[in-house]
Structure 1
Amino acid sequence: MTIGKIIKQLRSVHSLSQEDLAEQLGVSRQTISNWENDRTVPALDYMKKLCEEYQLSLDQLFRLETNEVGKTKLSKRLLFYLSVLFAFLFLLPFSESSLSSLIFIFTAIVIVFASWDLARLLFKEVVLWHSRRKKL
Protein backbone atom coordinates (compact mmCIF):
# COMPACT_ATOMS: atom_id res chain seq x y z
CA MET A 1 0.00 0.00 0.00
CA THR A 2 1.41 3.40 -0.95
CA ILE A 3 1.75 6.32 1.44
CA GLY A 4 -0.99 8.14 -0.51
CA LYS A 5 -3.46 5.29 0.00
CA ILE A 6 -2.54 5.15 3.70
CA ILE A 7 -3.17 8.90 4.09
CA LYS A 8 -6.50 8.58 2.29
CA GLN A 9 -7.50 5.64 4.48
CA LEU A 10 -6.44 7.51 7.62
CA ARG A 11 -8.46 10.56 6.56
CA SER A 12 -11.51 8.41 5.82
CA VAL A 13 -11.32 6.59 9.16
CA HIS A 14 -11.40 9.95 10.96
CA SER A 15 -14.22 11.24 8.72
CA LEU A 16 -12.24 14.20 7.45
CA SER A 17 -12.48 15.91 4.10
CA GLN A 18 -9.36 16.84 2.20
CA GLU A 19 -9.98 20.46 3.21
CA ASP A 20 -10.13 19.52 6.91
CA LEU A 21 -6.88 17.57 6.77
CA ALA A 22 -5.22 20.33 4.73
CA GLU A 23 -6.25 22.87 7.37
CA GLN A 24 -4.85 20.72 10.19
CA LEU A 25 -1.50 20.30 8.42
CA GLY A 26 -1.25 23.82 7.04
CA VAL A 27 -1.23 22.84 3.35
CA SER A 28 -3.66 23.24 0.47
CA ARG A 29 -6.43 20.80 -0.43
CA GLN A 30 -4.66 20.21 -3.76
CA THR A 31 -1.55 19.10 -1.87
CA ILE A 32 -3.58 16.48 0.01
CA SER A 33 -5.11 15.36 -3.30
CA ASN A 34 -1.64 15.03 -4.85
CA TRP A 35 -0.46 12.93 -1.88
CA GLU A 36 -3.50 10.65 -2.01
CA ASN A 37 -3.21 10.14 -5.76
CA ASP A 38 0.53 9.41 -5.46
CA ARG A 39 1.53 12.35 -7.62
CA THR A 40 3.76 13.66 -4.85
CA VAL A 41 5.02 12.38 -1.51
CA PRO A 42 4.63 14.41 1.68
CA ALA A 43 7.77 15.83 3.24
CA LEU A 44 8.94 14.25 6.47
CA ASP A 45 7.76 17.17 8.61
CA TYR A 46 4.18 16.70 7.31
CA MET A 47 4.42 12.98 8.00
CA LYS A 48 5.49 13.82 11.55
CA LYS A 49 2.51 16.18 11.89
CA LEU A 50 0.20 13.40 10.69
CA CYS A 51 1.69 11.02 13.26
CA GLU A 52 1.34 13.56 16.06
CA GLU A 53 -2.23 14.43 15.07
CA TYR A 54 -3.40 10.81 15.10
CA GLN A 55 -1.03 9.41 17.77
CA LEU A 56 0.80 7.12 15.34
CA SER A 57 4.42 6.17 15.02
CA LEU A 58 6.13 6.45 11.64
CA ASP A 59 6.26 2.63 11.61
CA GLN A 60 2.49 2.51 11.91
CA LEU A 61 2.06 5.19 9.26
CA PHE A 62 4.23 3.27 6.80
CA ARG A 63 2.68 -0.03 7.90
CA LEU A 64 6.06 -1.43 8.93
CA GLU A 65 4.53 -2.97 12.03
CA THR A 66 4.11 -6.62 11.19
CA ASN A 67 0.78 -8.06 12.08
CA GLU A 68 0.50 -11.45 13.70
CA VAL A 69 -1.55 -12.72 10.75
CA GLY A 70 1.35 -12.10 8.37
CA LYS A 71 3.79 -13.77 10.74
CA THR A 72 1.49 -16.76 11.14
CA LYS A 73 1.06 -17.08 7.39
CA LEU A 74 4.83 -17.06 6.86
CA SER A 75 5.35 -19.54 9.70
CA LYS A 76 2.80 -21.92 8.20
CA ARG A 77 4.48 -21.68 4.81
CA LEU A 78 7.87 -22.43 6.38
CA LEU A 79 6.37 -25.43 8.15
CA PHE A 80 4.91 -26.61 4.84
CA TYR A 81 8.31 -26.25 3.13
CA LEU A 82 9.99 -28.23 5.88
CA SER A 83 7.35 -30.97 5.65
CA VAL A 84 7.82 -31.26 1.89
CA LEU A 85 11.59 -31.23 2.33
CA PHE A 86 11.52 -34.08 4.84
CA ALA A 87 9.14 -36.05 2.60
CA PHE A 88 11.54 -35.69 -0.34
CA LEU A 89 14.52 -36.63 1.79
CA PHE A 90 12.65 -39.66 3.14
CA LEU A 91 11.84 -40.83 -0.42
CA LEU A 92 15.37 -40.31 -1.71
CA PRO A 93 16.92 -43.63 -0.52
CA PHE A 94 13.98 -45.65 -1.91
CA SER A 95 13.95 -44.18 -5.39
CA GLU A 96 15.71 -45.11 -8.62
CA SER A 97 18.58 -42.99 -9.91
CA SER A 98 16.46 -40.98 -12.41
CA LEU A 99 13.79 -40.34 -9.81
CA SER A 100 16.36 -39.47 -7.15
CA SER A 101 17.80 -36.67 -9.31
CA LEU A 102 14.28 -35.27 -9.75
CA ILE A 103 13.70 -35.46 -5.99
CA PHE A 104 17.04 -33.73 -5.46
CA ILE A 105 16.00 -30.88 -7.80
CA PHE A 106 12.64 -30.45 -6.04
CA THR A 107 14.43 -30.49 -2.68
CA ALA A 108 16.74 -27.71 -3.85
CA ILE A 109 13.76 -25.65 -5.05
CA VAL A 110 11.98 -26.08 -1.72
CA ILE A 111 15.15 -25.00 0.13
CA VAL A 112 15.36 -21.84 -2.01
CA PHE A 113 11.70 -20.91 -1.36
CA ALA A 114 12.00 -21.63 2.35
CA SER A 115 15.20 -19.55 2.58
CA TRP A 116 13.52 -16.65 0.77
CA ASP A 117 10.52 -16.63 3.14
CA LEU A 118 12.78 -16.98 6.17
CA ALA A 119 14.89 -14.06 4.96
CA ARG A 120 11.73 -11.91 4.51
CA LEU A 121 10.56 -12.76 8.01
CA LEU A 122 13.96 -11.98 9.53
CA PHE A 123 14.20 -8.70 7.59
CA LYS A 124 10.84 -7.55 8.97
CA GLU A 125 11.93 -8.44 12.49
CA VAL A 126 15.24 -6.57 12.11
CA VAL A 127 13.47 -3.47 10.77
CA LEU A 128 11.05 -3.53 13.70
CA TRP A 129 13.82 -4.10 16.23
CA HIS A 130 15.87 -1.25 14.77
CA SER A 131 12.90 1.16 14.76
CA ARG A 132 12.02 0.28 18.38
CA ARG A 133 15.64 0.71 19.41
CA LYS A 134 15.73 4.21 17.91
CA LYS A 135 12.63 5.21 19.91
CA LEU A 136 14.45 4.47 23.17
Structure 2
Amino acid sequence: MAGDLRDRVTKLFQKNVANRLTRALPFQTLLETTGRKSGQPRRTPIGGRKIGNEFWFVSEFGENSQYVKNIEADPNVRVRLNGRWHKGVAHLLPDDDPHERLRSLPQFNSFGVRTFGTKLLTIRVDLTD
Protein backbone atom coordinates (compact mmCIF):
# COMPACT_ATOMS: atom_id res chain seq x y z
CA MET A 1 0.00 0.00 0.00
CA ALA A 2 2.75 2.47 0.95
CA GLY A 3 4.67 1.52 -2.23
CA ASP A 4 1.60 2.28 -4.35
CA LEU A 5 1.24 5.73 -2.77
CA ARG A 6 4.96 6.40 -3.23
CA ASP A 7 4.68 5.38 -6.91
CA ARG A 8 1.69 7.67 -7.48
CA VAL A 9 3.32 10.66 -5.77
CA THR A 10 6.63 10.12 -7.59
CA LYS A 11 4.94 9.75 -10.99
CA LEU A 12 2.78 12.84 -10.40
CA PHE A 13 5.84 14.91 -9.45
CA GLN A 14 7.87 13.63 -12.40
CA LYS A 15 5.09 14.20 -14.94
CA ASN A 16 4.01 17.64 -13.78
CA VAL A 17 7.23 19.17 -12.47
CA ALA A 18 10.56 17.39 -13.02
CA ASN A 19 10.03 16.13 -16.57
CA ARG A 20 8.66 19.45 -17.81
CA LEU A 21 11.68 21.29 -16.45
CA THR A 22 14.38 18.84 -17.50
CA ARG A 23 12.99 18.25 -21.02
CA ALA A 24 13.74 21.92 -21.72
CA LEU A 25 17.43 21.60 -20.82
CA PRO A 26 19.45 21.37 -24.05
CA PHE A 27 21.83 18.66 -22.85
CA GLN A 28 19.40 16.54 -20.82
CA THR A 29 19.39 12.96 -22.09
CA LEU A 30 15.96 12.19 -23.55
CA LEU A 31 14.30 9.01 -24.72
CA GLU A 32 11.80 9.47 -27.53
CA THR A 33 9.24 6.71 -28.01
CA THR A 34 6.15 6.58 -30.19
CA GLY A 35 2.91 6.76 -28.22
CA ARG A 36 1.21 3.41 -28.53
CA LYS A 37 -2.26 5.02 -28.66
CA SER A 38 -1.59 8.45 -30.17
CA GLY A 39 1.25 7.58 -32.56
CA GLN A 40 2.86 10.86 -31.46
CA PRO A 41 6.46 11.26 -30.24
CA ARG A 42 6.79 11.05 -26.44
CA ARG A 43 9.94 12.42 -24.82
CA THR A 44 11.07 11.34 -21.38
CA PRO A 45 14.14 12.59 -19.49
CA ILE A 46 16.34 9.67 -18.48
CA GLY A 47 19.80 9.01 -17.17
CA GLY A 48 22.14 6.33 -18.35
CA ARG A 49 25.40 5.74 -20.16
CA LYS A 50 26.52 5.15 -23.73
CA ILE A 51 28.90 2.20 -24.00
CA GLY A 52 30.13 1.67 -27.54
CA ASN A 53 27.03 1.67 -29.77
CA GLU A 54 24.68 0.90 -26.90
CA PHE A 55 22.86 3.13 -24.42
CA TRP A 56 22.02 1.55 -21.06
CA PHE A 57 19.55 2.77 -18.44
CA VAL A 58 17.21 1.48 -15.75
CA SER A 59 13.49 2.25 -15.56
CA GLU A 60 12.22 3.05 -12.06
CA PHE A 61 8.80 1.49 -12.54
CA GLY A 62 9.59 -1.18 -15.12
CA GLU A 63 6.64 -2.35 -17.17
CA ASN A 64 4.40 0.17 -15.35
CA SER A 65 6.26 3.07 -17.04
CA GLN A 66 4.41 4.55 -19.97
CA TYR A 67 7.57 4.72 -22.06
CA VAL A 68 8.20 1.01 -21.40
CA LYS A 69 4.69 0.22 -22.62
CA ASN A 70 5.47 2.32 -25.72
CA ILE A 71 8.70 0.34 -26.26
CA GLU A 72 6.77 -2.93 -25.99
CA ALA A 73 4.46 -1.68 -28.77
CA ASP A 74 7.29 -0.26 -30.93
CA PRO A 75 10.94 -0.71 -29.93
CA ASN A 76 12.20 1.87 -32.46
CA VAL A 77 13.28 4.87 -30.41
CA ARG A 78 15.54 7.90 -30.45
CA VAL A 79 17.93 8.97 -27.69
CA ARG A 80 19.24 12.52 -27.34
CA LEU A 81 22.79 12.45 -26.01
CA ASN A 82 24.74 15.69 -25.50
CA GLY A 83 22.23 17.57 -27.64
CA ARG A 84 22.37 15.12 -30.60
CA TRP A 85 19.64 12.65 -31.57
CA HIS A 86 20.46 8.98 -32.28
CA LYS A 87 18.11 6.35 -33.69
CA GLY A 88 18.01 2.98 -32.00
CA VAL A 89 16.14 -0.16 -31.08
CA ALA A 90 15.26 -0.66 -27.41
CA HIS A 91 15.43 -4.01 -25.64
CA LEU A 92 13.84 -4.75 -22.27
CA LEU A 93 16.18 -6.95 -20.22
CA PRO A 94 14.23 -8.46 -17.31
CA ASP A 95 17.02 -11.02 -16.67
CA ASP A 96 19.66 -8.30 -16.15
CA ASP A 97 20.32 -7.31 -12.52
CA PRO A 98 19.18 -3.65 -12.41
CA HIS A 99 20.88 -3.00 -9.05
CA GLU A 100 24.20 -4.18 -10.43
CA ARG A 101 23.59 -2.23 -13.66
CA LEU A 102 22.99 0.98 -11.69
CA ARG A 103 26.49 0.66 -10.21
CA SER A 104 27.93 1.18 -13.71
CA LEU A 105 25.70 4.17 -14.58
CA PRO A 106 25.98 7.85 -13.55
CA GLN A 107 25.56 7.97 -9.78
CA PHE A 108 23.28 11.03 -9.50
CA ASN A 109 20.53 9.49 -11.62
CA SER A 110 21.17 6.01 -10.20
CA PHE A 111 20.57 7.35 -6.68
CA GLY A 112 17.14 8.64 -7.71
CA VAL A 113 16.21 5.41 -9.48
CA ARG A 114 17.25 3.34 -6.44
CA THR A 115 15.47 5.69 -4.02
CA PHE A 116 12.14 6.06 -5.81
CA GLY A 117 12.00 3.00 -8.03
CA THR A 118 9.89 0.01 -7.09
CA LYS A 119 10.03 -2.26 -10.16
CA LEU A 120 13.45 -1.71 -11.68
CA LEU A 121 14.01 -2.87 -15.26
CA THR A 122 17.21 -2.64 -17.31
CA ILE A 123 16.85 -1.32 -20.86
CA ARG A 124 19.47 -1.37 -23.61
CA VAL A 125 19.15 0.71 -26.76
CA ASP A 126 21.19 -0.50 -29.72
CA LEU A 127 22.11 2.75 -31.46
CA THR A 128 21.93 2.51 -35.25
CA ASP A 129 23.53 5.84 -36.18
Compute the TM-score of the two structures, normalised by the length of structure 2.
0.22
Larger radius of gyration: 1
Q: Larger relative contact order (C-alpha < 8 A, sep ≥ 6)?
A: 2
Structure number having the greater strand percentage: 2
Compute the TM-score of the two structures, normalised by the length of structure 1.
0.21
Structure number having the greater helix percentage: 1
